[in-house]
Structure 1
């Protein structure tokens, strides 16, 4: 943590939250998978997390982006793996292989039309608009690992220095999570793994959170409204 600013933490009853969330998924079936996704994301938060409040652009960079502690590298990787696995539980990962690469042009990160159509169709089937966008939080000096795809779509509030957040399409954001998991955290660590930190964890968790809440039909639904639904 940079400086002496302390941000609030919060806790919830996980079982109560699951009851709220799965209610919107019952009609679509596959309740077991969404419950697994929720538990995996919860475990990711328990492993390592920063709050959305502390990631607000008004605070700039609050946390150190890198750590020299080996144990921190392991914890960061576990948190990313769990959050991405939550995405996989919902079958909302990007699917590709050697014969069907993600990109039709690797230099420009132009989507392979078949791969893009596949993820967009599964998002639609889950009741999620594939045209949705996600803010990918990037803070401080340019010392972070470059994600793939690389897009120059700065958010409206980015200042190009302390706050360098990017706006990604939902398929791009899911693929960025997949890139971190596949090439940085899921296998033997490489030279770039120690450069991962709390903001990468936050980004993958936020994508998983958006997908879970959207699939359950409660994205942008206030807590007070959820309480009314339970009465």
Structure 2
């Protein structure tokens, strides 16, 4: 008798659920477990800047599928608020930490899929832990940014990096009425994606919207306002 596939997927934002759905179609009898350290599965992270801007008006519109879809329709086990700590390749086990209870457990697999995505890089600079400094990769990040703009009546924003997310956030902040400055260490926007000539058109568009672009410059520290909030870069 053929052994049942035991598939563990680490990461439940986008690729993980897609991989799980594909695995289910290929093997209706497989045991499939999705491990996600956050609260939500199948989130449209590309829409986060548009949630900040208000174009998307609800967090629920950023979630493609709810937990019960994966449990009841796709017959998968869903472990949210759970972090993968270590992989034992020889034993075919993953060590897990429940972030709510701090309970550590192990789960066995004979097929392991890593779909953890990327992690934002926070520069190791003086003041980088001050309140008011954000990265953007999860729905909670976008909600926290929205709340800060509203609660503290934020008027100015500085964005480090002129990549895709940085430029989308620049437009999001402009649409919220903020004065926006983008700081890029290289000499044009989207330096990893487009050449100087194409970048010139994008820069013209951004400047036309009021975005201040600073090229060939690096942020070297963040200044405290005296109350633990970032005041200046």
Q: Same fold (TM over 0.5)?
A: no
Q: TM-score range by the shorter chain?
A: under 0.3
- Bigger helix fraction: 1
Q: Which has the larger radius of gyration?
A: 2
TM superposition score normalised by structure 1: 0.24
Higher relative contact order (Cα pairs below 8 Å, separated by 6+ residues): 1
TM superposition score normalised by structure 2: 0.24
- Bigger strand fraction: 2
